[in-house]
Amino acid sequence: MCLKFYGELLEAQNQPVHSSVSWAAERHLLSALMWTPEIRHVASRKYAGQWREITGPAPVKMSKRRSAALTGAQGISLAQKLLRERLCHQKLPDQPVGLDSQYKHLLELLRRTAVHGESNSVLIVGPRGSGKTMLLGCVLRELMSLKEAQKNVLLVELNGLLQTDDKIALKEITRQLHLENVVGDKVFGSFAENLAFLLEALKKGDKSSSRPVLFVLDEFDLFAHHKNQTLLYNLLDVSQSAQTPVAVLGLTCRLDVLELLEKRVKSRFSHRQIHLFSSLSFAQYLDVVRAQLSLPPDFPDPKFSDEWNHSVTKLCEDKTVEEILRRNFNGSKDFRSLHSLLFLAVSRVSVSHSTLREADLIEAWRLISVDSKANVLHGLSILELCLIIAMKHLNDTYDGEPFNFQMVHNEFKKFIQRKSHSIHKFEKPVVMKAFEHLLQLELVRPVDSGVCKVQREYQLMRLMLEHGQVMEALQRYPQCPTDVKQWALSAFG
Amino acid sequence: MKIHICLTGIKTIILDCNNISQYSVFLINSALMNRRDIMSAVNPDQYSYPSVFIYGHRATGKSHVVLSIMKDLELPHASVDCVECVSSGLLFHQVLSAFFGPDAAALLPRCPSLSDFVRLYKQMSSNSPATQTRYIILDRAERMRDMDFSLLPALLRLQELVNDNVTVILLSEIVWEKFRPNTGCFEPLLFHFPDYSKGKSLVQILSWDHHPSYTPELYASYINILLGVFFSVCRDLRELRHLAVLNFSKFCEPLEKGEAKESDIHKLWKNIEPHLQRAMQTVYLREVSSVQWEQQQMDEKEATTLRVLSAHAHIELPYYSKFLLIAAYLASFNPARTDRRFFLKSHGKIRKTNFLKKHEKTSNHLLGPKPFPLDRLMAIFYSVVDSRVAPTASVFSQISSLVTLQLLSQVGHDDQLDSPKYKCSVSLDFILAISRCVCVCVRLLDLLALSLVIQSQVVRQERSLFTAVSNLHLL
């Protein structure tokens, strides 16, 4: 909340603090914010007396005695921190849920490279949000806990979004292997020479055998778009030719990634793929929700965490909540969409509203499932809405063929002359300006993105809205004149 | 009594207004829901969601609310307008210098790639770790779709790539579905900023600009009149404020002259309403600049014609060019078969056939001008022009200058020298205006009217039309 404006609000309203309605809402808001010492200092400088009332008594510094129960605010703060870390910071869970066989397979593969010096290549394939990075993170965490692996293994992480070119990728590999000084100013003839030099340099550090290197390629399909796929070819070539133990791990969301590879690259790939398709049933999904929202047993305040976990269990048994979760589950089974839903619900928890309630979840679901184009249509002027209805009629009459501004204006004029009482005739340039606003909002798009020499009024366009969306927007439109509604509903324009 | 207006732009008007704090308080109250959602989602010293997408119409307060939250809570933020970033290097430079100072930004290489940016960011943030969440605010984010294809997906998951507590907030007018890349990306949280309702919010905000020497009630009634004219056309707060400020002096004229009192709303309405209608056709469309509008208000004693900026009204063409343009219009919009009937002295028997072919019936007028060859243009020109014209180079060069003026457009390749094709690119209103200037007999106007008649397809009684056409040639 803006402190300065809040103070002005109080002065402007000149009302006692507790009785104003907005003040109650503000109190929720303010106490939901977790104040760092810096912010409290800023706040207290400006509004000395009022902060006691807002944030409650000053939080006690966490003393060394662990058994001291936390105050409400502190408990909420710590709970929020834990839950947020889980939901939006993507902290690695202890064990990935529902991915046991894939976990074992991957771990075994990497162990063979790290400990026994076998070269391998594998692709992890799964839709967005299914847990590829999470799975890899958990496996690497366990791998690095092995003593032999910890000493020896080198990790190089590349991302297709960042390393958009093979040269950049090579520089990044050099940097991550800490070989910049060794390379110095050398100029190499080809990519293969450079890579061979790097891997050779790794050998010299160790006695006879070289250290195993794990190459992790995130957004693997983007690497396949580079010129000649040199990076992929060379890495997979090294992995086949047994000089250095190298493991190439690709993570991608495209199921058809193998079709993107050239023949020579594909033949060097071991065709080992790990698929992550979620196989959860709805009951398991509910268990996951409960587990995600519950506080762990080592929470400092056992009483608070018991209360919290109890409320979460009760929440999951509620009918409306189950309905919402089922609708989300039917939409997508992955955890990322679940996390965003839960995050919106958890962020409403505050000192005065200290447990998670079903209203929170309902509100979170409403925020997620709203149609954004309907929101945009709500804010259009009535002239723009009439133009959209005219376009809808043209679509219905001519079966979705593209139209131009002249045709839309014609339809609109027919409406004005015949049926309208409330909308008076607007000049053509004014109607053109409204049409251009719709163009700017991308509710209408030109058919061939506009490089041609046609006049503005005659350029062919398409409407980017559906019949149902337009009708629904009309229902929600504030103070829509009845003749406009009638026109929209009539079948023949 | 003039209101001091800053004419350099609408945004300046809002900022210079001394009611800025009230405006903000109002925004806070009315957009409370949004602010609460945003505030709870972007928590300063805890982890917050990696990316947030805020959308809503123009002038609904998106940038204002987000930036005011940042400034008042004194959060570390970098605010970048994507219109300014013609290359992604400019974006990286601004972000790094906002968070880590200009020295950090100077470490960026000449044409920085995303990889350099992420590496440098990681380096800087490990030197100065964040106690609070850092925010990157990207205004007018729809421009990012035209930059590197990997910039948008990478920024949406920046938190994961740099391993730091940073949140990217995207502000845009366009909905999220149009941003999503083909293979998907990290989905941000979506927030909508609703538009202002007419009764409660819009009138209230606009009434804050009231001039101190008049009562707020008078200003509120003025705003209501203004909204009555403009609300059905435009709901943009900035435009409405601009129009309100420009026209207030005219509204107060009767009060100053003593012809009416503040309570004679009806009289004031009668005075201002035609003025506002004229404003809709000129200032609203930017046909006239605001300075010119003010000037006209001061000099206006009788209803003079407004000098508009639009090129069409200013243009002065040579005598034969006007005829050429009219001939071009007729060539573009009349089908070639009808030329014989219109332009020849004797055209033989008139058969009672279907006047228009089937495919021409629907949209001769609606589909736009059709291309015509040069010979046809010259034929029509010779039959339209009233005196004998020799086919000299000066006549042909006028065609080229019409193409340069973009009143005609050349269709097809430049190197087709023997039969170039043209199209007419002006509207009927312009042609009618020109033909009125040309002191020519009624026949020309009839030809134009005929082509209009064809276009509007009200040809029911063909026989009467044919008699009309034949009468024309007897003139």
Residues of chain B positioned with their CB less than 8 A from the CB of A429? 281, 285, 287
Residues of chain B found within 8 Å of residue A175, distances taken between Cβ atoms? 119
Which residues on adjacent β-strands are paired with residue B408? B424
Three-state DSSP state, A425? coil
Q: Do A381 and B232 touch (CB under 8 A)?
A: yes
**Averaged pLDDT for residues A212-222:** 93
Highest mean pLDDT of the ranges B35-44, B160-169, B433-442: B160-169
Q: Which of A8, A80, A441 sits opposite B25 (nearest CB)?
A: A8
Judged by CB atoms closer than 8 Å, whether chains meet at B287 and A429 is answered as: yes
Q: For position B474, what pLDDT does the model report? A: 44
Mean pLDDT of B248-267: 83
B contacts of A89 (beta carbons < 8 Å): 47, 159, 165
Residues of A in contact with B55 (CB under 8 A): 372, 375-376
Cross-chain CB nearest to B233 (options A84, A426, A458): A426
Q: Which has more confidence, B412 or B128?
A: B128
- Of A218, A211, A214, A209, nearest in space to A235 by CA: A214
User: Tens digits of per-residue pLDDT, A414-447?
Assistant: 899 887 777 888 888 899 999 999 999 999 999 8
Give the distance from residue B346's alpha carbon to the nearest chain A alpha carbon, in angstroms. 36
User: Cα dist. B324→B379, B398, B451 in Å?
Assistant: 11, 8, 17
Q: What was the pLDDT predicted at B463?
A: 41
* Residue A107 and residue A142 in contact, taking contact as beta carbons nearer than 8 Å: yes
Query: Which residue in B has a C-alpha nearest to residue A2's C-alpha?
Result: B72
Each residue of A437-476: b (16+ CB within 10 Å) or e? Answer: bbbebbbbebeeeeeeebbebebbbebbbeeebbeebbee
Higher-pLDDT residue of A316, B350: A316
Least confident among A65-69, A456-460, B212-216:
A65-69
Contacts of A42 in chain B (CB under 8 A): 74
Of A39, A423, A429, the CB nearest to B232: A423
Across the interface, whether the CB atoms of A440 and B173 are under 8 A apart is answered yes
Question: What does the pLDDT average to over A79-105?
Answer: 84
Is 60 exceeded by the pLDDT of residue B116?
yes
Residues A185-201 have pLDDT tens digits of 888 888 888 888 888 87
Name every chain B residue with its beta carbon within 8 A of the beta carbon of A434. Answer: 233-234
**Confidence tier at B357 by pLDDT (50, 70, 90):** low
pLDDT at B23: 43
- Shortest distance between the Cα of A83 and any Cα of chain B, in A, equals 9
- Please indicate whether residue A220 or residue B208 has the higher confidence score (pLDDT): A220
Smallest CA–CA distance from B67 into chain A, residue: A2
Residue B48 has what pLDDT?
83
Q: What is the pLDDT of residue A427?
A: 87
Residue A65, burial from CB neighbour count under 10 angstroms (0-12, 13-18, 19+) = exposed
Q: Is the confidence at residue A35, as pLDDT, over 60?
A: no
Mean pLDDT across chain B: 78
Asked whether residue B120 carries a pLDDT value surpassing 80, the answer given is yes
CB distance A84–B365 less than 8 Å?
no
Q: Quote the minimal CA–CA distance from A88 to chain B in Å.
A: 5
Between A25, A39, A372, which is nearest B175 by CB?
A372
**Region label for A328, one of left (φ > 0), alpha (ψ between -120 and 50) or beta (otherwise):** alpha
Distance CA A208, CA A410 (A): 84
**Separation of alpha carbons B9 and B245, rounded Å:** 12
Query: Which pLDDT band, with edges at 50, 70 and 90, does B204 fall under?
Result: confident
CA-to-CA dists, residue A91 to A135, A155, B50, B116, B192, angstroms = 12, 20, 13, 26, 28
Q: Is B421 exposed, middle or buried (0-12, 13-18, 19+ CB in 10 A)?
A: middle
Distance (Å) from the alpha carbon of B411 to chain A's nearest alpha carbon: 9
Give yes or no for a contact between A430 and B286, defined as CB atoms under 8 angstroms apart: no
Which strands form A154-159's sheet, in the order they lie side by side? A154-159, A213-218, A246-252, A120-125, A273-275
How far is it, in rounded angstroms, from Cα B168 to Cα A54? 30
Question: pLDDT exceeding 90 applies to what percent of chain A?
Answer: 37
Cβ(A111)–Cβ(A120) below 8 Å: no
Report the relative pairing of strands B421-424 and B408-411 from DSSP bridges.
antiparallel
Q: Measured between CA atoms, how close is A4 to chain B, in angstroms? A: 7
- Of all residues in chain B, the one with the smallest CA distance to A40 is B73
Pairing of strands B77-81, B134-139: parallel
Alpha helix locations (H) across B17-157? 20-30, 32-41, 62-72, 88-100, 102-106, 114-127, 151-156
Best of A15, A259, A375 to disrupt the B interface (most B CBs within 10 Å) is A375
Q: What is the ipTM of this complex?
A: 0.83
Residues of A in contact with B120 (CB under 8 A): none
Q: Could you tell me if A119 and A113 are in contact, meaning their C-beta atoms sit under 8 angstroms apart?
A: yes
Q: Say if residues B55 and B193 touch (Cβ distance below 8 Å).
A: yes
The residue that leads in pLDDT, B383 or B186, is B186
